[in-house]
Structure 1
Amino acid sequence: MNAYTPAAVVYCPLWRRLLALVYDLLAVVAIVMVVGYVCQRLTGGNLISTDGQVQIAWWYRPLQALVVAAYFVASWLRGGQTLGMRPWRIRITAADGGRLAPAQALVRLVVAALPLLLLELAPWVGLRGALWAVATAWVGGLGWAAIDPQRRAFHDVVARTQLRRMG
Structure 2
Amino acid sequence: MTQATAPSPLAPDLTAPSLKRRMACWLYEGMLLFGVVFIAGYLFSTLTQTRHALDNRHAQQAFLFVVFGIYFTWFWAKGQTLAMKTWHIRVVDTQGRPLTQARALARYVLSWLWLLPPLGLTYALGLSGRDLAVLFPGWVIFYALLSRLHKQRQFLHDALAGTRLVQQLPPVRPKK
Alpha-carbon distance change, 116 to 134 in structure 1, aligned in 2, over 3 angstroms: farther
In the alignment, what sits opposite 2:5?
A: none
Amino acid corresponding to residue 165 of structure 2 in structure 1: L
Q: Deviations over 1:32-75 (max 9, x none)?
A: 001112223233452x26xxxx4444411100111112111111
Indicate yes or no: 2:32 matched with 1:27: yes
Q: Contact (CA 8 Å) 1:116, 1:134: kept in 2 or not?
A: no
Cα deviation, residue 109, structure 1: 1.7
In the alignment, what sits opposite 2:106?
A: 107
Q: Determine what percentage of the aligned residue pairs are the same residue.
A: 25
Q: Contact (CA 8 Å) 1:23, 1:83: kept in 2 or not?
A: no
Indicate yes or no: 2:29 matched with 1:36: no
Q: TM-score, normalised by structure 1?
A: 0.81
Q: Could you say what secondary structure the match of 2:127 adopts?
A: helix
For structure 1, the 5+ residue unaligned runs are: none
In the alignment, what sits opposite 1:16?
A: 21
Q: Contact (CA 8 Å) 1:145, 1:154: kept in 2 or not?
A: yes
In the alignment, what sits opposite 2:3?
A: none
In the alignment, what sits opposite 1:74?
A: 74
Moved over 6 A (4+): none
Cα deviation, residue 14, structure 1: 0.8
**1:63-142 superposed matches below 5 A:** 63-77=63-77, 79-114=78-113, 115-116=115-116, 118-120=118-120, 121-122=122-123, 124-142=126-144
Task: Provide the rounded CA distance (Å) in 2 between the counterparts of 1:117 and 1:11.
Answer: 25
Number of corresponding residues: 159
The more displaced of 18-27 and 37-46 is 37-46
The more displaced of 85-94 and 57-66 is 57-66
Cα deviation, residue 103, structure 1: 3.3
Cα deviation, residue 83, structure 1: 0.8
Q: Contact (CA 8 Å) 1:76, 1:100: kept in 2 or not?
A: yes
Alpha-carbon distance change, 55 to 83 in structure 1, aligned in 2, over 3 angstroms: same
For structure 2, the 5+ residue unaligned runs are: 1-7, 170-176
Name which one, 1 or 2, has greater alpha-carbon Rg.
Answer: 2
Amino acid corresponding to residue 66 of structure 1 in structure 2: V
Cα deviation, residue 25, structure 1: 1.0
Q: Contact (CA 8 Å) 2:28, 2:83: kept in 1 or not?
A: yes
The more displaced of 93-102 and 146-155 is 146-155
Task: Provide the rounded CA distance (Å) in 2 between the counterparts of 1:81 and 1:18.
Answer: 15
